[in-house]
């Protein structure tokens, strides 16, 4: 875990990338408004300059001070000498046959994380990473085989969204509902609640009215179930909450999500019941990956219904997306439909998600930043070794 970064001091370590590892200029992206005003004060400028810069960076999407035409030429030169407005660099960009796009973003220290854009008819969702790697070891998740390298900074988190919008040229910020990149899910690499301060700082920027202006109702934070931070998330951000549930009982969940041993289902479900604003209009989403023979029987479905009784919620049933070396298989289509029907009949929404971007390994649980060429058996052994090492380290 890195140090939280909600303070207003300008700190190149937390301010984000500069676009070049050798560039010592401070990246203005990711700074709080207060930090931006301080940065202006440091160069002898009035606080209102911060407001102008904010508009250029987050409403217009400018990355070049020369484009900021309501600033004097002298000021633009001064800014250019000290600062940059930088995004992470796209080391790789892939577009699936279904339109899903995946980027491998590289940060100034050479670390990388993946971001995915999923276009739908009525929305476009950007799935953002919060960490490089992950401390957790969810058995169905490709990222879970990768050790945690570090938390992403606010600049690196918001920078993924900015870079995705650059890719589609969605600037200036559309002020009506017709946005292509209309939603954010914190569901990429990492556990966002283990990097909450930085995630919250980035989401405050994304939500700010005079910039990107994305409503909190269009942001969903997905957690494996870090119970103490769930309450904080509701209180401080109040974005939509999604839980990676994947099992209706502790015995099954302990196997596929070892974090359950620390925060068992009873505590997790209580945290969901206590989440502020949970109502029928704003239901908590339970993600449920369908794993053949493990969590997919009618008895599991009935146990789920009992578990969430009285809680305003919906399910997302996710056919498991295999990745190289995984020990699991996806449940059969009939099994998934029977499972969904049992939940539907209990009055709960349980759509079966269509896997997106499978051909570019962009689907749920498939993200991982290395691309070693290994056989399936070698990959499986490697995954088992990685899980064992991570669990021993906890």
> Which residues are designated catalytic?
114, 364
Closer to ligand SF4 by CB, 136 or 203: give it. 136
| DSSP state, residue 360 | G
CA distance 391 to 257: 11
Regarding 141 and contact with ligand SF4 (CB under 6 A), the answer is yes
Q: Which of 144, 159, 325, 357 binds ligand SF4 (CB under 6 A)?
A: 144
Regarding 233 and contact with ligand SF4 (CB under 6 A), the answer is no
Regarding 191 and contact with ligand SF4 (CB under 6 A), the answer is yes
Upstream peptide bond of 355 is cis (omega within 30 degrees of 0):
no
Regarding 189 and contact with ligand SF4 (CB under 6 A), the answer is yes
Instruction: Please list, in sequence order, all residues whose beta carbon lies within 8 angstroms of the beta carbon of residue 369, skipping any fewer than 6 positions away.
Output: 104, 112, 113, 114, 132, 133, 146, 189
Which ranges in the chain belong to alpha helices (H)?
12-15, 33-42, 48-54, 73-82, 154-168, 196-207, 227-236, 250-256, 265-273, 298-307, 333-345, 376-393
Question: Quick one: 334 exposed, middle or buried, by C-beta within 10 A (0-12, 13-18, 19+)?
Answer: exposed
Q: Which of 30, 124, 154, 190 binds ligand SF4 (CB under 6 A)?
A: 190
Least separation, in Å, of the C-beta of 136 and ligand SF4? Answer: 4
Stretch that binds ligand SF4, among 42-50, 116-124, 137-145, 378-386 (CB under 6 A): 137-145
Taking Cα atoms as reference points, which of 324, 386, 317 lies closest to residue 358?
Answer: 324
Regarding 143 and contact with ligand SF4 (CB under 6 A), the answer is yes
Regarding 324 and contact with ligand SF4 (CB under 6 A), the answer is no
Stretch that binds ligand SF4, among 110-118, 136-144, 149-157, 384-392 (CB under 6 A): 136-144
Closer to ligand SF4 by CB, 143 or 183: give it. 143
Regarding 26 and contact with ligand SF4 (CB under 6 A), the answer is no
Give the CA count within 13 Å in the CB-facing half-sphere of 80. Answer: 12
Residues at the contact surface with ligand SF4, assessed by CB under 6 A: 134, 136, 138, 141, 143-144, 189-191, 224, 244
């Amino acid at each position: 875990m890195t140090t939280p970064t909600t303070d207003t001091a300008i700190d190149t370590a937390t301010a984000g990338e500069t676009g070049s590892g050798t560039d010592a200029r401070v990246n203005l992206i990711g700074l709080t408004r207060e930090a931006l005003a301080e940065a202006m004060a440091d160069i002898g400028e009035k606080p209102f300059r911060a407001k102008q810069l904010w508009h250029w960076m987050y409403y217009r999407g400018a990355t070049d001070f020369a484009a900021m035409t309501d600033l004097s030429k002298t000021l633009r030169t001064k800014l250019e000498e000290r600062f940059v407005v930088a995004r992470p660099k796209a080391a790789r960009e892939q577009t699936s046959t279904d339109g899903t796009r995946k980027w491998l973003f590289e940060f100034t220290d050479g670390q990388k994380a993946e971001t995915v854009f999923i276009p739908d008819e009525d929305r476009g969702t950007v799935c953002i990473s919060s960490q490089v790697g992950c401390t957790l070891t969810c058995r169905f998740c490709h990222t879970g085989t990768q050790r945690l390298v570090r938390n992403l900074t606010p600049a690196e988190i918001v920078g993924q969204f900015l870079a995705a919008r650059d890719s589609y040229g969605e600037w200036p910020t559309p002020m009506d509902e017709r946005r292509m990149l209309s939603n954010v899910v914190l569901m990429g690499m990492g556990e966002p609640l283990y990097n909450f301060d930085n995630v919250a700082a980035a989401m405050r920027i994304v939500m700010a009215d005079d910039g990107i202006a994305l409503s909190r109702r269009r942001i969903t934070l997905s957690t494996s179930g870090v119970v103490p931070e769930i309450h904080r998330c509701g209180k401080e951000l109040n974005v939509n909450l999604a839980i990676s549930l994947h099992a209706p009982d502790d015995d099954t969940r302990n196997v596929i999500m070892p974090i359950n041993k620390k925060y068992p289902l009873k505590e997790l479900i209580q945290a969901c019941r206590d989440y502020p604003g949970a109502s029928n209009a704003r239901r908590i989403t339970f993600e449920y990956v369908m794993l053949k023979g493990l969590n997919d029987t009618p008895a599991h479905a009935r146990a789920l219904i009992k578990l969430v009784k009285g809680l305003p919620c919906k399910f997302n049933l996710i056919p498991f997306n295999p990745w190289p070396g995984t020990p699991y298989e996806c449940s059969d289509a009939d099994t998934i439909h029977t499972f969904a029907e049992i939940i539907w009949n209990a009055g709960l929404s349980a759509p079966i998600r269509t896997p997106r971007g499978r051909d570019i390994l962009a689907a749920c649980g498939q993200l991982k930043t290395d691309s070693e060429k290994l056989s399936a058996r070698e990959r499986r052994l490697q995954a088992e070794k990685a899980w064992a090492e991570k669990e021993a380290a906890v």
